[in-house]
């Protein structure tokens, strides 16, 4: 394990500070603990029936490495950070309350109608080719649970038609009689003036107060997504309401367990925007893809320390394969609407893509498609898990194939805490794959590996070449428990020349949360014509706007909200950093370009020019100089204020580089491993990762084992330990 050193210095008898970072995945729950200048990590199977059990089990197993009790650790713990895939699971399972939707009269069909291309949101390209079979997602809120309310606010925020409260109460009674257990409120133009949404919420709360057993959740769009474009705003609010209760119950279970063990502070939730905040400042939608987002932030942090500005962060766990990019040292955000499950939403969110390709992904033969072998997206999870777990699994998985091929040592899985049954893996692949395809078991296992590696390589191809990026300018970070095992299979096929692995690769998302700052975004839609059109038919002046107070008033209102939330979390606002992002476009364009504003407030013409020039630079970087259109003028549509409180973190220690020869105590021996390049099974050297030293070099073929992962080094590849104890494969 690489030793990591805290940037906090201890003096005298100062109390040792600790932090706990937990990431709950579909198969395993990962835990990383910082205690003074020590860092330890571990994992436990995810208990889907009660996430708090797996959460506490991972914590207890990890704290053993510190030689203290959990209660002693929690006394010193300043922060517990938590990321989860719970939101994804709840959407897939459709286990949420029955919701009713209030919208403006005449707009009741916004959600069911969707957008022209909404049938394709969240669908794989291969599925999109089958147009006759495509369907829109199954509605979370059916049409008969959507009601129109007599009210209207215009685009400037002025009330055109006052809210009819009697109409609200009548429609409320109708929805309750239809079985509504919660409500979504999304009115037209509420992002400019939320007063009608707030009144509807208050009316419902008065009818069903929280002191009653029949209290109802009410979520309003102006709280969740105060942005223009009603469809993605309505979807975001719907998903937030749908997930809120179940997530709140799960998080309460974990908080109760921690408090019973002695933890007295608030739990922090990892946000998909790249930061974290207290549970009380977190919506359910903020947590979606929290784990992969933490991994991307961790990759950017480690890449900055080790000198890698362009990174493809790949995380192959037990259930999925996640990909995110770091470009020029900065994580990539969605420029357009991110898609959650099958719905496009309006949300500030780190860009990551996910496919069903993990260690637990199930392999199957489709006889109706000419015996086509497919991997995923179904997963065996942790219960019953792959057949080799011997917990009742009856379908072949990627992990079963890895065991058959010799990549995974059945006696050293999970550091020897969990013994695998190789015979069960062989039998299930023989019965389900080899016999239908009329091939040998090892060939079937190799095909499983080859196909899943190809699927993952395809995702790298989409994120680089298909987006105009040269894969040769990037390095791959192989993360997750299965990432180092399969990285050579998917990286070099995609044209990326270098891979980095880490001692903490299996728990890298938990490591990423440990380096996150407290970050929250505050958004407002306000239309400002920054630069007037010019040169079109002689019309227009091309002048810059001069109403600086209109611009500053929006920023000031957002900053007041940020200060309120910081103080609510016990943070001095003077210790925070505020920055502004703007969504802008040339006149006549449909889509926006999000830029980092060089000014928080505007006071003169020079500030306005600086904003315009920044927009032009970022637009050219994204779309080339041939795409600029200053004659059309420039609009600002949305303001996004970012509030950042920088938290103390750690740095990776640097070690003196020694001989490239591996010491004898790091060599574990040989075992039979299947290499297609060598036409079958061959005796292969195996090494213990934790006993390697900086400078050590290993030539493939080889297997490098750690307690929670294996690095598979094919023939012709070289593995070198650098000064940070990271492994570099070329």
Q: How many CB atoms lie within 10 A of CB 415?
A: 13
235-244: average pLDDT: 92
Using the predicted structure, report yes or no on whether residue 12 has a pLDDT greater than 80.
no
Distance CA 318, CA 27 (A): 5
Q: Is 245 a member of any domain?
A: yes
pLDDT tens string 354-388: 888 989 999 999 887 788 899 988 888 878 899 99
Residues 229, 127: one domain?
Answer: yes
Local structure of 211: helix, strand or coil = coil
Using the predicted structure, report yes or no on whether residue 119 has a pLDDT greater than 50.
yes
Distance CA 216, CA 443 (A): 56
Place of tokens 């420039």: 634
Residues 695, 560: one domain?
Answer: no
- pTM over cut 0.85: yes
146, 151, 86, 523: which is closest to 319 by C-alpha?
Answer: 86
State which of 198, 218, 249 marks the end of a domain: 249
Share of the chain above pLDDT 70, in %: 95
Categorize the per-residue pLDDT at 86 as very low, low, confident or very high, splitting at 50, 70 and 90.
Answer: low
For 159, 407, 477, 676, the CA distances from 701, given in Å and listed in that order, are 72, 11, 20, 11
**Residue 706: alpha-carbon gap to chain centroid:** 26
Using the predicted structure, report yes or no on whether residue 501 has a pLDDT greater than 80.
yes
State which of 249, 271, 304 marks the end of a domain: 249
| Structural domain range at position 717 | 681-729
Question: What are the residues facing 528 on neighbouring strands?
Answer: 636
Of the two residues 321 and 280, the one the predictor is more confident about is: 321
Residues 243, 102: one domain?
Answer: yes
Local structure of 471: helix, strand or coil = helix
Using the predicted structure, report yes or no on whether residue 45 has a pLDDT greater than 60.
yes
Of the two residues 379 and 95, the one the predictor is more confident about is: 379
The secondary structure element, H or E, covering residue 4 is strand 4-6
**DSSP letters spanning 5-58:** EESSPP-TTPPPPEEEEEEE-SSEEEEEEEETTEEEEEEEE--TT-HHHHHHHH
Residues 699, 571: one domain?
Answer: no
| Secondary structure E strands in 436-504 | 475-479, 499-501
Residue 56 makes CB contacts below 8 A (sequence gap 6+) with 254, 257, 261
Residue 428 makes CB contacts below 8 A (sequence gap 6+) with 387, 393, 394, 395, 396, 400
Residues 228, 122: one domain?
Answer: yes
How confident is the model at residue 8, as a pLDDT? Answer: 42
Using the predicted structure, report yes or no on whether residue 148 has a pLDDT greater than 60.
yes
SS3 of the chain: helix, strand, coil, percent, to 5? 40, 25, 35
How confident is the model at residue 126, as a pLDDT? Answer: 64
Residues 174, 219: one domain?
Answer: yes
Categorize the per-residue pLDDT at 415 as very low, low, confident or very high, splitting at 50, 70 and 90.
Answer: confident
Residue 440 makes CB contacts below 8 A (sequence gap 6+) with 434
462-476: average pLDDT: 92
Residues 226, 155: one domain?
Answer: yes
272-297: average pLDDT: 89
Residues 602, 556: one domain?
Answer: yes
286-297: average pLDDT: 91
Q: Is 55 a member of any domain?
A: no
Using the predicted structure, report yes or no on whether residue 11 has a pLDDT greater than 60.
no
Residues 704, 628: one domain?
Answer: no
State which of 249, 279, 296 marks the end of a domain: 249
How confident is the model at residue 669, as a pLDDT? Answer: 93
Categorize the per-residue pLDDT at 4 as very low, low, confident or very high, splitting at 50, 70 and 90.
Answer: very low
334-356: average pLDDT: 85
Residues 719, 598: one domain?
Answer: no
Residues 133, 211: one domain?
Answer: yes
pLDDT tens string 308-320: 999 999 999 888 8
Q: Is 714 a member of any domain?
A: yes
Q: Is 627 a member of any domain?
A: yes
pLDDT tens string 687-696: 999 999 999 9
Categorize the per-residue pLDDT at 5 as very low, low, confident or very high, splitting at 50, 70 and 90.
Answer: very low
Q: Is 374 a member of any domain?
A: no
Using the predicted structure, report yes or no on whether residue 145 has a pLDDT greater than 90.
yes
How confident is the model at residue 91, as a pLDDT? Answer: 76
CB 283 within 8 A of CB 308: no
Of 199-213, 517-531, 685-699, where does mean pLDDT reach its minimum?
199-213
Instruction: Looking at 119-213, list the stretches that DSSP marks H as alpha helix, in order from N- to C-terminal side.
Output: 125-128, 165-177, 195-207
Q: Is 488 a member of any domain?
A: no
Structure token digits, residue 199:
């009144």
Number of domains in the chain: 3
Residues 596, 531: one domain?
Answer: yes
Using the predicted structure, report yes or no on whether residue 650 has a pLDDT greater than 50.
yes
How confident is the model at residue 536, as a pLDDT? Answer: 53
Q: Is 8 a member of any domain?
A: no
Place of tokens 């708090």: 52
Categorize the per-residue pLDDT at 125 as very low, low, confident or very high, splitting at 50, 70 and 90.
Answer: low
Distance CA 637, CA 634 (A): 10
How confident is the model at residue 507, as a pLDDT? Answer: 92
| Mean pLDDT, the chain, integer | 89
Question: What are the residues facing 36 on neighbouring strands?
Answer: none
Categorize the per-residue pLDDT at 89 as very low, low, confident or very high, splitting at 50, 70 and 90.
Answer: low
Categorize the per-residue pLDDT at 350 as very low, low, confident or very high, splitting at 50, 70 and 90.
Answer: very high
Q: Is 193 a member of any domain?
A: yes
């Amino acid at each position: 394990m690489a030793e990591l050193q805290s940037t906090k210095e201890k003096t005298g008898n100062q109390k040792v500070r600790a932090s706990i970072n937990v990431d709950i995945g579909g198969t395993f729950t990962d835990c990383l603990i910082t205690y003074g200048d020590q860092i330890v990590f571990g994992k436990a199977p995810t208990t889907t029936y009660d996430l708090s059990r797996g959460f506490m089990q991972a914590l207890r197993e990890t704290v053993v490495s510190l030689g203290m009790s959990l209660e002693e650790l929690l006394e010193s713990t300043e922060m517990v950070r938590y990321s989860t895939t719970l939101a994804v699971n709840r959407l897939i399972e459709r286990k949420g309350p029955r919701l009713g939707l209030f919208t403006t009269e005449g707009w009741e069909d916004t959600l069911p109608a969707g957008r022209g291309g909404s049938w394709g949101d969240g669908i794989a390209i291969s599925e999109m080719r089958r147009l006759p079979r495509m369907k829109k997602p199954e509605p979370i809120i059916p049409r008969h649970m959507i009601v129109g309310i007599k009210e209207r606010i215009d685009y400037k925020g002025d009330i055109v038609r006052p809210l009819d409260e009697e109409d609200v109460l009548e429609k409320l009674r109708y929805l309750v009689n239809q079985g509504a257990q919660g409500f979504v409120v999304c009115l037209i133009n509420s992002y400019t003036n939320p007063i009608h949404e707030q009144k509807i919420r208050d009316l419902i709360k008065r009818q069903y107060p929280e002191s009653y057993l029949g209290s109802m959740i009410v979520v309003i769009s102006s709280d969740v997504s105060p942005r223009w474009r009603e469809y993605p705003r309505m979807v975001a609010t719907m998903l937030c309401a749908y997930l809120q209760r179940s997530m709140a119950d799960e998080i309460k279970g974990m908080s109760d367990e921690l408090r019973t063990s002695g933890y007295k502070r608030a739990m922090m939730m990892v946000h998909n925007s790249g930061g974290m905040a207290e549970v009380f400042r977190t919506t359910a939608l903020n947590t979606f893809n929290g784990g992969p987002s933490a991994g991307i932030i961790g990759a950017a942090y480690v890449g900055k320390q080790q000198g890698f500005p362009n990174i493809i962060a790949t995380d192959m766990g037990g259930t999925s394969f996640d990909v995110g990019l770091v470009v020029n040292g900065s994580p990539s955000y969605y420029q357009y609407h991110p898609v959650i499950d099958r719905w496009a939403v309006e949300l500030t969110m780190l860009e990551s893509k996910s496919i069903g390709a993990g260690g637990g992904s199930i392999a199957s033969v489709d006889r109706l498609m000419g015996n086509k072998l497919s991997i995923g997206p179904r997963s065996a999870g942790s219960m019953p898990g792959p057949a080799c777990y011997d917990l009742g699994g009856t379908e072949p998985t990627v992990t079963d194939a890895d065991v058959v091929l010799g990549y995974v040592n059945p006696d050293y899985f999970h550091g020897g805490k969990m013994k695998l049954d190789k015979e069960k893996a062989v039998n299930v692949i023989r019965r389900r794959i080899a016999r239908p395809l009329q091939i040998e078991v090892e060939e079937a296992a190799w095909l499983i590996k080859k196909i899943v590696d190809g699927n993952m390589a395809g995702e790298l191809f989409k994120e680089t070449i298909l987006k105009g990026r040269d894969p040769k300018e990037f390095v791959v970070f192989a993360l997750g428990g299965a990432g180092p095992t399969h990285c050579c299979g998917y990286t070099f096929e995609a044209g990326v020349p270098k891979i980095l692995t880490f001692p903490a690769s299996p728990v890298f998302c938990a490591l990423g949360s440990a380096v996150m700052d407290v970050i929250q975004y505050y958004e407002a839609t306000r239309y400002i014509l920054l630069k007037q059109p010019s040169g079109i038919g002689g019309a227009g002046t091309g002048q810059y706007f001069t109403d600086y107070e209109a611009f500053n008033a929006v920023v000031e209102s957002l900053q007041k909200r940020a200060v309120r939330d910081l103080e609510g979390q016990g943070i001095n606002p003077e210790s925070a950093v505020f920055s502004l992002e703007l969504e802008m476009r040339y006149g006549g364009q449909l889509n926006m370009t999000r830029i980092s504003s060089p000014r928080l407030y505007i006071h003169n013409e020079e500030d306005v020019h600086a904003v315009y020039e920044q927009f032009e630079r970022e637009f050219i970087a994204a779309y080339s100089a041939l795409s600029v259109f200053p004659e059309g003028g420039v609009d600002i549509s949305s303001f996004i204020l970012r509030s950042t409180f920088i938290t103390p973190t750690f740095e990776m220690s640097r070690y003196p580089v020694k001989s490239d020869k591996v010491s004898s105590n790091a060599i574990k021996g040989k075992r039979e491993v299947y290499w297609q390049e060598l036409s079958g099974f061959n005796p292969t050297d195996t090494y213990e990762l934790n006993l390697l030293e900086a400078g050590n070099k290993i030539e493939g073929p080889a297997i490098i084992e750690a307690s929670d992962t294996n690095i598979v080094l094919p023939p012709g590849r070289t593995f070198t330990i650098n000064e940070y104890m990271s492994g570099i494969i070329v």
